[in-house]
Structure 1
């Protein structure tokens, strides 16, 4: 008496072969997923600080897109007046994984100002960035890289570490995309490069900057408030 449809021996063998093949193919996939993360971490033998001054601006969204597409993070030294006028862009910087820092309120020559004026430039920017959702900055870059003992002292009173740069991309001076890529190639572990939020050439250089850093085992990192050097993101 038959109790159900008969299964042909040939069909049973075929089904077992399919199951065995599927199990065997799953093993390397599992190993690959398990080892991928450590391999990526091991690729970073050092860190550099990519920095962009003078934002946020009409170029900020395009810059953030380019950074994310190339797996890069950067420190955005924002002017307070622009942070106050464009709070959504400050939040976009944070959402994109960038670090937001202080670049004065109106970008003056701070060394030519009184202590009270310097304090106003720095404190108003701290407030503008915080109000926009950028957190309380820990890093400060004086406009033009101009500083003195008074500027440093005022910044320190606001809990800020002054950050200049090791490599100047010269994007502000009309440097070509090729020249900016070459400038980034000079970066070594812990160093910081100056670029600008509004520079189309700096933005266009990002894919090649990312490739060049990767080839040298360097990754884009955070800037330590303790040392002023680029370090692994916390």
Structure 2
């Protein structure tokens, strides 16, 4: 267990509630005491909420978390993100983390590889369009996963996140039962809850209070380990797993469909290089492109490539795209243009036809 340290300053400390009472003769100012007293953080847990955003409950849940001084991870559905982009931005602006929970909440393991890819890629795009940032975490609906799904997740740079505690709110658990379930959380643990139940919203304050009484603090989920860590990501648990993600299944695929780059890196005139890896199936492919900065680093980059005859790009993530067939150009988005010398970033795109033989050329600025 990491050494005790002062509880990190809450995002909401500067927003401590102030109530103004206006009367005919005077204005009285009352500053509310933060609901959870400062405590030593001897460990971190992740509060997670699935299936949002929802017009009827998301704002209430955000208010409850704000009042408790807690941050959480929201695993959002792509369809609902598209319909309620303002609520996703509200989650982000309140300091919470946002993960991918598929587009339509299907049984992912019953889908084809192409269908899995579509569920994930559409949600990545919807969340990026709403917030400016693509998720790094993916929670499969129903917790159902397999080797094929994990390989598709890897194409998008996603870490699979399941849970160590199930609140059973989806199964009709009462507020008291949800609070009791949270009491079994330990350092690094993740609790499954949902955006959509009043009983879950009502449990927030008591969950956070009980955690503080045990010197546990709400934290973020590490995209490296899939476990809860400090909100700044700098304090991993004492014994992080050696084979993330930490949740079952415990047998990762030994031969994922992502192939090592078959084309050598090409050095562009601006000082960067690019390699491409393919995950192909009959009639389509997903390409992952790694952009590596040269000795002077980059402030921006552009990758051009010529698609094979008959191939068409249908969507892209972590990059802007110009063109869909023949000569196609990808340029950085706002958050991944600056790359330190020798460091890398990745973007991807999905296409129809065959992607075999593509050779990217990178230009940096």
Query: 1:74 aligned to 2:84?
Result: no
Q: 1:104 maps to what in 2?
A: 102
Quote the Cα distance in structure 2 between the aligned partners of 1:55 and 1:40: 29
Contact 1:90/1:134 (<8 A) preserved = no
Deviation at 1:40, TM superposition (A): 3.5
Query: Which of 140, 156, 170 is residue 168 of structure 2 equivalent to?
Result: 170
Equivalent residues in 2 for 1:109-148 (5 A)? Answer: 109-133=107-131, 135-148=133-146
Contact 2:6/2:41 (<8 A) preserved = no
Aligned length: 197
Q: 2:63 maps to what in 1?
A: 65
Q: 1:219 maps to what in 2?
A: 217
Query: 1:54 aligned to 2:55?
Result: no
Deviation at 1:199, TM superposition (A): 1.4
Quote the Cα distance in structure 2 between the aligned partners of 1:160 and 1:55: 19
Quote the Cα distance in structure 2 between the aligned partners of 1:197 and 1:190: 22
Q: Check 1:134–1:49 CA distance in 2 against 1; reply closer, same or farther (3 A cut).
A: farther
Q: 1:199 maps to what in 2?
A: 197
Higher RCO (C-alpha under 8 Å, 6+ residues apart)? 1
Q: 2:228 maps to what in 1?
A: 230
Higher helix share: 1
Structure number with larger C-alpha Rg: 1
Q: Check 1:134–1:216 CA distance in 2 against 1; reply closer, same or farther (3 A cut).
A: farther
Query: What secondary structure, in the 3-state scheme, does the structure 2 residue paired with 1:205 have?
Result: helix
After superposition, the C-alpha distances for 1:120-160 in whole angstroms (9 at most, x for unaligned) are 00000000000011611000000000000011110111000
Query: What secondary structure, in the 3-state scheme, does the structure 2 residue paired with 1:132 have?
Result: helix
Q: What TM-score, normalized to structure 2?
A: 0.53
Structure 1, unpaired ranges of 5+: 1-37
Q: Check 1:109–1:208 CA distance in 2 against 1; reply closer, same or farther (3 A cut).
A: same
Equivalent residues in 2 for 1:19-58 (5 A)? Answer: 39-41=6-8, 43-58=40-55
Contact 1:94/1:134 (<8 A) preserved = no
Higher strand share: 2
